[in-house]
Structure 1
Amino acid sequence: MGWIEENMKSTHFRQILSQAISLGMVISSALIIWKGLIYITGSESPVVVVLSGSMEPGFKRGDILFLYMNKDPIRAGQIVVFNDGRDVPIVHRVIEVHEQRDSKEADILTKGDANPHDDRMLYTSSNRWLQRKYIMGRAVG
């Protein structure tokens, strides 16, 4: 009788161990896919969700956007996601770009399509323009 009881405990332990390994594989696979997307797209956050109605009618709340970021200059009309120190990234359209001749830096001004004014009030207090380092990516599509 002791042998059967011991065998059942061993089988139960193996099942738990097998489930834990399977869960670990799923989590590891998701992390590898996420890190791969970050590498391929060049964006620190390759997938974002629109959280407000500031880009309606083009993008509604809850829409999912795929981002990419490369070395090409940012142009007026592109939709970008930026985060200049806030908790939540913002999805808005670039309305003005002022490129500096002596460097590859640019001053960028954004605005939500449904907003009456530009985003200068959203930028940190010392900045009237957004720098490229704050842009997480451009919307694809």
Structure 2
Amino acid sequence: RGTVCYRVRDPVDGKEYAMKDCWVTEAKRYHEVDVLGRVKGIPNVVQLVDHWDVLSNGEPDCTARIRDGYGVLLENRPDTRFFNRYHRRLLLTPCGDPLWDFSSRKELICAFRDFVVAHETMIQRRVLHGDLSPNNFIIHEGIGYFIDFDHASI
């Protein structure tokens, strides 16, 4: 659905972050932010630094505004499958490498241990990730981290 992640660097202190640029339905506009708040402080889970709506002419960017710009008003739309999506950004730490870029068998096994420990703690906080795949884990400085909580349930 148009989600892209960028490695960004703070020009002042040089610290790297992951910036998630995504389009989410209105019902899920703050879902990932809420889940990340619930798992805050759990080791081996990325931490939310900041989040915001991308603005267009001072207003939150969304697909309804784009359609309105072409004269396709929501109340007159023939397509009942249309869902208004908001353009959001999340700033996360740490910024790591994909799971498949592990440097050794030991690093991969240790990362899986990290995932199991984090998963157990998330379950204790009543959070189920909901999308366990190699794409949703990273390794940063030899440590495995869960990422991408937009499909998580509480």
Give the shorter-chain TM-score range: under 0.3
Report which of the two has the higher share of strand: 2
Higher CA-based Rg: 1
Of the two structures, which has the highest relative contact order with CA contacts closer than 8 Å and spacing of 6 or more? 2
